[in-house]
Amino acid sequence: MPRPQVESSFGVVCDVDGVLPVTHVRRQLGRVGALFNRSPRDRRSVLGMPHLLRHLAHSDLEPEVFYLTAAPELSTDLLAEVLSRNGYPSGAVLPGGDLAPGWLVGQSLGPKRAALERLFEQYPHRRWILLGDDAGPDPELFADFARRHPGRVAVIALREDRLRSTGTPRDGRPSETTVVAAPNAEELLPQLNAALGLQPRPRTAISGWFLTAGERGNEATRLRAWTTNNAVRPLVHGRCYFAALADALAAAGAGDMVLVAGWRADSDELLTDEGPTVAEALASAARRGALVRVLLWRAHLGAFGYHLEQNRAFAADMAAAGVEVLLDQRIRALGSHHQKSVVIRRAGRPADDLAFVGGMDLDRGSRDGVDHHGDPQPDSSDDLYGPTPARHDIQLEVRGPAVREIEDSFRERWDDPAPTTRLPWHVVSDLVHGSPRSASPLPPPAEDPPATGGCAVQLLRTYPRRRPAHPFAPLGERSVARGYAKALRRARRLVYLEDQYLWSVDVARIFAAALRRSPELQLIAVVPRRVDQKVATRAAEMGQLEAMAMVRAAGGDRVQIFDIENEEGRPIYVHAKVCIVDDVWAVVGSNNLNNRSWTHDSELAAAVIDDERDPREPADPGGLGDGARRFARRLRLDLMREHLGLDDDADLLDPDRAAHTVRSRAARLDAWHADDCRGPRPPGRLRRHVLDPRERPPARHRWLTIPAYRLVLDPDGRPLSMRLRRAY
């Protein structure tokens, strides 16, 4: 017996065949074709669909949610579980009935029409919000339903799953039915809100920006969703970070614990001009009674441009001082462990516990300063960057409960029972060098350090799905990608980026969707002048061209991309990985903006939201009630002032004025160079980043270059079903 309904009640029907991992053959073939499409205008994605459904379910309309599918009735429970695991709100599944051959090839119009009619008979007074896509029967199905039930359809919303949508029902339907369409949920949501007269419900800044435990997508981790009451200090430049680390290690002694994770470490790298070296600082802490443990990526041979020899030498130096170093090769093929963190826990002094996390390793070339003359101990010389390459980078110093989270992230890898490598030649090499292949136990973790500040911190990570599986991420973890995607959903005025690469179309697609959804959004990015300091391949430049073309096609002149140089005109290599959205959400970590960092290598980043608001205008740049937060705004302003040579913030607080300021000052410096550097050099370091599309290799070479770029330089570690659906 159907329960009585009031005239104003709403319901949502979402055809989920287009977002499920397994669907009919015709749609899967379409997904395979889209996998190879690199057009900058191809913005199709299912990534934001769970958020769109949750937004509707929790809106003032309070609609009941139904999921329409042509799958047989026996799959109802399985589909409900899949939808819940992917973040969709609870709702009833409407199956297509018995298993029929037509469902396997996408002929599902009849079963879905019958399911919709049954739903209407049960709830005849509801108004319906119909969601689907144009790659199946939805345009015809929804238009027919609206014609037969006038006034009962509030809006039809279609995700354009075809590159050129042809099925949007705009003819042969009642004129009062509103139809909206977009290639992804981010661009579809504002149109839905306008059609339904909805506004986002007020939410606290933390829950609105950070991933919930369920949204992380990894139930096996011991990490909490986030912690509060932390103190976070940005350490811009290697000299600042290394000096802080030297002081922290010098205070480590009996009963303390030092945990280091890195991509590379050089024993002889000085932490300050007077020393000690990295090896001396860690060895001295161990000799004073601290427990020191290090996780390093094993790396490949130097003959291939990597640093196995340096990491092995560091491990040998540390072993002599009683420090256990694992050379960790528990990765996917062609992958790496790229996390960079240091945790120091004080025995009996928890208020002094601290951790460092960000983009810097303990290696040669990283200890540059604000003048950007380079590290006196360079890793190598370079024809573009000079004999002592200048490097711009950022690390965070963290105190408070988040220290325990960074420690737990280290412990999860350390406690992995799998051997550090399974390749036979690695095993032989480890035996020859006496390298440990499994870890000794760590002492039980201490309690959280006490509250010490006003920052909420969320750790974001990347782990690929691999065999044998990581116990702490058996299906992998892509919270870096998910964290960026959620934050960019709230972006309204300004996204500020510093990144080493910015070269993946799949990553750029998320930024492009934000730019198209928010017509006032500005994107300012700082990247290296040349894609890679050591291996500047044409394939990598092609990847960057594709990514930049996508964001520029979406944002036009609202997108500004720069590289930087020091006062002598020598380019500065941008190694930083930072993103700041609307002066609220800031993230610093080891991850770059490419497929490799978002899906394939291990990565670690810390997202920060400060409790303290910055009262200067605009007090709420995004207009969502979050307010400008002190940490995020201060970090953005500090970085922009340095790059622009400014002494105050007056021209940088307002996003539009900041965008105008960087454009005009970079243009003056570019004009000075074009004029053969005559007259006084204009202030600042920003130069417009130029990659000439005409420099693409000839077509006869691209058949090899493009696959090499996607398979070797920027591999994708997602399961195939996620890659096909462009989801994380």
Q: Give the Cα separation of 641 and 624 in Å (integer).
A: 26
Q: Find where tokens 């689907």 sit.
A: 132
| Confidence bin at 535 (pLDDT 50/70/90) | very low
Q: Dihedral through CA 186, CA 633, CA 238, CA 596, nearest 10?
A: 0
**Predicted confidence (pLDDT) per residue in 580-614, tens digit:** 999 999 999 999 999 999 999 999 999 999 999 99
Neighbours of 623 (CB within 10 A): 11
pLDDT of residue 70: 85
pLDDT of residue 29: 78
- Check: CB of residue 314 under 8 Å from CB of residue 267: yes
| Confidence bin at 26 (pLDDT 50/70/90) | confident
**Predicted confidence (pLDDT) per residue in 661-701, tens digit:** 999 999 999 999 999 999 999 999 999 998 765 555 556 55
pLDDT of residue 694: 52
Judged against a pLDDT cut of 90, whether residue 31 lies above it is answered with no
Q: Give the Cα separation of 28 and 222 in Å (integer).
A: 35
Judged against a pLDDT cut of 70, whether residue 13 lies above it is answered with yes
Token duo for residue 276: 């000690």
DSSP string, 453-496: SSEEEEEEEEE---SSPBTTBTT-EEHHHHHHHHHHHT--SEEE
Query: Which sequence spans correspond to the domains of the chain?
Result: 10-201, 227-456, 490-588+612-713
Token duo for residue 519: 């017509």
Q: What mean pLDDT is predicted for residues 280-304?
A: 93
pLDDT of residue 2: 43
| Confidence bin at 21 (pLDDT 50/70/90) | confident
Mean pLDDT highest for which of 24-28, 93-97, 262-266? 262-266
| Confidence bin at 177 (pLDDT 50/70/90) | confident
pLDDT of residue 252: 97
**Predicted confidence (pLDDT) per residue in 208-245, tens digit:** 999 999 999 999 999 999 999 999 999 999 999 999 99
Better-scored residue on pLDDT, 64 or 539: 64
Q: Give the Cα separation of 344 and 248 in Å (integer).
A: 8
User: To the nearest whole number, what is the mean pLDDT of the chain?
Assistant: 90
For 10-201, CATH number out of 3.10.580.10, 3.90.79.10, 3.40.50.1000, 3.40.50.300 equals 3.40.50.1000
Q: What is the pTM of this model?
A: 0.94
**Predicted confidence (pLDDT) per residue in 107-165, tens digit:** 678 888 999 999 999 999 999 999 999 988 899 999 999 999 999 999 999 999 876 54
- Check: CB of residue 353 under 8 Å from CB of residue 346: yes
**Top CATH class, 227-456:** alpha beta
What backbone phi and psi angles, to 5 degrees, belong to 693? -55, -20
Measured in residues, the chain has a length of 728
pLDDT of residue 104: 61
- Beta partners for residue 133, in sequence order: 159
Residue 218 buriedness (CB in 10 A; 0-12 / 13-18 / 19+): buried
Judged against a pLDDT cut of 50, whether residue 167 lies above it is answered with no
**Predicted confidence (pLDDT) per residue in 402-437, tens digit:** 999 999 999 999 999 998 888 877 788 877 777 888
**Predicted confidence (pLDDT) per residue in 483-493, tens digit:** 999 999 999 99
In 3D space, the residue among 465, 483, 47 whose CA is nearest the CA of residue 225 turns out to be: 483
Judged against a pLDDT cut of 90, whether residue 12 lies above it is answered with yes
